[in-house]
Amino acid sequence: MRIRNLNHSKYQIEYHIVWGTRYRRKYIKEYTKQELRKYLYHATKKYPTLHIHSFNTNDDHVHLQIEIPPNLSIAAVVQRLKSESSAILKKRFRFIRDMYLDGSIWSVGYFVSTVGLNEEMIKKYIANQGKKDYGTTGRFRFS
């Protein structure tokens, strides 16, 4: 992790954030994922104190590894990313717009954890989203 600066402080904070589609609908395909990636790239240009380290999706949820400065609330950043990306995806894809005539395409909540010392494990986990590894338990493993 890199050390970042604000006017009167230095910080080294990364978060792993996950949010899902409303009603867990499975519409995040490769083409919608690419449009979402474009929006997130644009968001880091629009909000330069944000920095996305990794991004990936599954059919019904999004994973981000992101730096958020301490002067911004995590809830405010997630709300902004979700609301702006919802508007863009609804505008770009008619089938999404038709599914969600009344509001956001994302579920209300989200998951957040600090990355800390598990940075490499989190990066691998995000990179492996959408890949199936049934192993011996039949569940996805990220090790």
Look at residue 143 in the predicted model and tell me its pLDDT: 45
Task: Give me the domain span that covers residue 118.
Answer: 11-127
pLDDT confidence tier of residue 140, bands split at 50, 70 and 90:
very low
Residue pair 66/51 in contact by the 8 Å Cβ criterion: yes
64 domain residue, yes or no: yes
140 falls within a domain: no
At 85-118, the pLDDT tens digits run 999 999 999 999 998 888 899 999 999 999 876 6
Residue 85 lies in a domain: yes
Compute how many other C-beta atoms are within 10 angstroms of the C-beta atom of residue 130. Answer: 14
Q: Would you say residue 27 lies in a domain?
A: yes
Distance of CA 3 to CAs 11, 127, 135, Å? 6, 23, 38
Domain count, the chain: 1
DSSP bridge pairs for 58 = 61
**Is residue 138 domain-resident?**
no
106 DSSP β-pair partners: 21
Confidence tier at 120 by pLDDT (50, 70, 90): confident
Q: Is residue 55 part of a domain?
A: yes
pLDDT digits (tens, 9 = 90+) for 60-71: 999 999 999 999
Is residue 38 domain-resident? yes
Determine, yes or no, domain membership for 2: no
Longest dimension (CA), the chain: 51
Say if residues 33 and 57 touch (Cβ distance below 8 Å): yes
The CATH number of the domain where 95 resides is what? Answer: 3.30.70.1290
